[in-house]
Structure 1
Amino acid sequence: MSTELTLDGIVARVWPGEHPRYLAILVHGYGEHIGRYEHVAAALLAHGAAVYGPDHRGHGRSAGERVLIENFEDVVTEVHAVAERAMADHPTVPVVVIGHSMGGLIAARYAQRYGEALAALVLSGPVIGTWEAIDVLLSLEEMPDIPIDPATLSRDLSVGAAYAEDPLVWHGPFKRPTIAAFAAAMETIAKAGGLGPLPTLWIHGEDDQLVPLAGSRRGIEAVRGDDLTEVIYPGARHEVFNETNKEEVLAEVTRFIDRALGCWNSP
């Protein structure tokens, strides 16, 4: 059972764990909302976490013009406010940030800014490195009203069907300021340097057509620190947490977290 909290217009879901071993901060992707991560939260709860996840501004139940992001630094700050609330609720408990797609971009930048307080970082299909769609969209006079093809999300086609029917998912065109903000954030991340000793897990679908593997690999090489684990799933599409082998993916994440917690020293 989850509850909601609101911080300056940002609505976050909380899956409270009793005496948690760690805090998991879930960071969702573009156009979607944290409610699509219910099964991920359940797996983390069963693993001993308390789980917190915001709907980004302009997404899901949070305030703001739909899918308008003018500066990702502001989004990182808002995720940090949720993390600070989690840490206030559970002092001295280690924190793990898990970000998917656009959420992977946010999580990577979060780790660059606040990584000294983290026990681990998980990046799923992150939009870092290069993303050809940005240059294509910025070259157009008008943003095309072409929704994401639900079939590119997962080999489990029920995932795409549910996505297409979800009223909290944005099904309209990108907004130019958001695309420009993506470009700026990816450049900032590339220039900000590596993640040092922070244990980092990068997971990606081999057949990810939305955020192709090769572009993200360039971003991973730019930020990688001393402790990177890479897992590429053959045949998997963009949403590896919703893939046909999602139990395998979640088991990989929890194994990684166990290892990272074993090495964690309270700052």
Structure 2
Amino acid sequence: MSAAAEAPTGTYVELLGARVHWVELGGPAAAPEAICLFVHGLGGSGVNFEALAPLLTSRFRCLAPDLVGFGRTQAGTRRASVRDNTELLAAFIEQMVPAAMPLLLVGNSMGGLIAARYAEAHPDRLAGLVLLDPAVPPQRPVPGPGTLAAVGLYSVPALGTIIARARRRWRAPEASVWDTLRLCTTAPEQISPEVVARHVELAHDRIARPEQDPLYSEALRSTFGVLARRREADATYDDITAPVLLVHGTHDRLVAFSSALRMARRHPGWRFRPLSGRGHLAMLEAPGWLAQEIIEWWHTSRG
């Protein structure tokens, strides 16, 4: 996909004690319909959206920050919990998005949860919210054995840091990227080679960032902790007043499709679009289809 062949140039902004890395992914030279701001998930970064963004830039100015604990953001004094990264997202929006400009948030996985929390806290600021396989409470109150095992391993901060460090140090960057793509998608070989190469480049950079090990562990524990408080997590999504597009892969191994169905039934006013046969990363697995869905929903929701 030639649109992603040339890597966008990143820059930094100082926010709340962190040096936040973000990329300008393009947009109209004048008068975009909205600022489209992408919020990545656990283990992700703004790179995750480089296949999708070029398909939206005819209408939207697209921005992608790296949250604390991920990508090239330098944490400084910041922590990586869901609450802390929601605060960071709010600060980024306040500084980088003009108040008069409509804001479209697109969040994946943990980033979907963070975007939802922002939407709950700032109902008058948001023009629309796209949730891509968001972290939502499971259909059953008790999670499955895989989730319970992960919670157990990462529940002890020191142990979680050791696990994160081992993954970073003992797995080659290329192998680590393909491990993640095989887990999170159903057809990783169909993802744009240019975009995969950008993920590998970032994985090489990650080797030199040992300070991210405890932050990754903290972010994971925090996400599980928020979802474990089922009523509170449900209330976050229930309180969203902005138009919502919910997209979820039918073969998502990380957030069960049944959990998305539960959310869709709970919110009949949302637009729900299942992604048949795909996994956790719609923006990498079906960027063309997803861009069309976003644009159609956006214009419908704007009346």
Normalised to the residue count of structure 1, the TM-score between the two structures is 0.81
2:68 is matched with which residue: 38, 57, 60? 57
**Secondary structure, in 3 states, of the residue corresponding to 1:121?**
strand
Determine which structure has more spread, i.e. the larger CA radius of gyration. 2
Q: Name 1:265's counterpart in structure 2.
A: none
Alignment of 1:41-56 (within 5 A): 41-46=53-58, 48-56=59-67
Structure 1: how far apart are the matches of 2:255 and 2:189? Answer: 18
Structure 1 residue ranges without an equivalent (≥5): 263-267
**Is 1:253 aligned with 2:300?**
no
* Cα distance in 2 for residues equivalent to 1:160 and 1:16: 21
The residue that corresponds to 1:233 in the other structure is 275
Distance 1:85 1:227, change over 3 A: farther
Kindly report which structure 2 residues correspond to 1:136-151, keeping only aligned pairs within 5 A, or say none.
136-140=149-153, 142-143=159-160, 148-151=179-182
Q: Which moved more, 1:5-14 or 1:131-140?
A: 131-140
Where is the helix percentage greater, Structure 1 or Structure 2?
2
- CA shift at 1:183, angstroms? 2.4
- The Cα shift of 1:16 comes to 4.9
Matches of 1:173 and 1:215 in 2, distance apart?
Answer: 29
Computed over aligned residues only, the root mean square deviation of the Cα atoms, in angstroms, reads 3.0
**Residue correspondences, number:** 254
Q: Provide the residue aligned with 1:11 in structure 2.
A: 21
Do residues 157 (structure 1) and 157 (structure 2) align? Answer: no
Per-residue CA distance 1:93-125 (angstroms, 9 max, x = gap): 211110011111111111111122111100001
Normalization by structure 2: what TM-score? 0.72
Query: Which residue of 1 is the match for residue 125 of structure 2?
Result: 117
> Aligned pair 1:71/2:81, yes or no?
yes
1:210 maps to 254
The structure-2 alpha-carbon separation of the partners of 1:158 and 1:192, relative to structure 1 and needing over 3 Å to count, comes to: closer
Unpaired segments of 5 or more residues in structure 2? Answer: 1-7, 168-175
- Taking a change above 3 Å as real, the CA distance of residues 4 and 260 of structure 1, as seen in their structure-2 partners, is farther
Per-residue deviation, 1:153: 2.9
For 1:174-189, list aligned pairs within 5 A.
176-186=217-227, 187=229, 188-189=232-233
Residue 31 of structure 1 corresponds to 43
SS at match of 1:184: helix
1:168 maps to which residue? 202
Q: Name the structure 2 match of 1:22.
A: 34
Take 2:92 and 2:235, find their aligned partners in 1: how far apart are those partners?
26
For residues 164 and 2 of structure 1, the distance between their equivalents in structure 2, rounded to whole angstroms, comes to 12
Q: Is the 8 A contact 1:129 1:218 kept in 2?
A: no
Instruction: Specify the code of the residue in structure 1 equivalent to 2:148.
Output: D
Aligned amino acid, residue 258 of structure 2: A
Task: Decide whether the 8 Å contact of 1:150 with 1:160 is kept in 2.
Answer: no
What amino acid does structure 2 have at the position aligned with 1:7? E
**Is 1:127 the counterpart of 2:135 in the alignment?**
yes
Q: Percent same amino acid at aligned positions?
A: 20
